[in-house]
Structure 1
Amino acid sequence: MELNERNPEVVEVSAEERAEEAKLIRRMQMMMGMVMSVIAQDASLTVDEAAQMIADSRKAALAMFPDKELAYDLIWKPRFQRLMRERFRIM
């Protein structure tokens, strides 16, 4: 990685790095979609099991994207909260 000469705080990212990040994003989106589908569709799933799946998916997402906890909290946490409210009728 090289620093941009006009703005030293901006780091240029190679095409390979962008492709790898896009691949990780797609993988995470697929994982989150599968977790949400299981929670929404599995009638035998308990609240505790669903909560554990959400916690595990959060750990996996943060393992793929370290230091992106705020992004997770802004994007995925509200979706999971809404799903849990709808699925289990909890507030």
Structure 2
Amino acid sequence: MSTRERAELSAHLTEKEQEARNIRRLQLMMSMVMSVISQDGNLTVEEASELVAGARRAALAMFPDKELAYDILYRPRLQRLMNERFRLQ
């Protein structure tokens, strides 16, 4: 394996590692947001909505072209949680 091939392999692994870190960071952030919404008895619906909006902005900053994935994976969970917590609809 040439030096160039090793460098390319190393860069590829680094990209994969960074993506894995971002995925884990996103999962942790969403878990924390959902925990706060479900457990903080003093949280208002407006504050919870701000948390959801901030989490969405952060997720799309980490994964700019993945809005559809966010809408499929996290939006329904957050909507269901907001409906249950604040008895919306």
Structure 2 length as normaliser, TM-score? Answer: 0.86
Which residue, 60, 78, 87 being the options, matches 2:85? 87
Aligned equivalent of 1:52: 50
> Counterparts of 1:22-37 in structure 2 under 5 Å?
22-37=20-35
Query: Structure 2: which 5+ residue stretches go unaligned?
Result: 1-10
- Higher mean C-alpha displacement, 13-22 vs 31-40: 13-22
The answer for unaligned runs of 5 or more in structure 1 is 1-12
Identify, as 1 or 2, the structure richer in helix.
2
Match of 1:43 among 32, 35, 41: 41
Cα distance in 1 for residues equivalent to 2:44 and 2:27: 23
Count of residue correspondences = 79
CA distance in 1 between partners of 2:20 and 2:76 (Å): 23
Q: Return the alpha-carbon distance in structure 2 between the equivalents of residues 85 and 66 of structure 1.
A: 27
**TM score, norm. by length of structure 1:** 0.84
RMSD of aligned residue pairs (Cα, Å): 1.1
Residue 49 (structure 1) shift: 0.4
1:73 to 56, 64, 71: 71
Q: What amino acid is aligned across from residue 84 of structure 2 in structure 1? A: E
Between the two structures, name the one with larger relative contact order (CA 8 Å, sep ≥ 6). 2
The percentage of aligned residue pairs carrying the same residue is 61
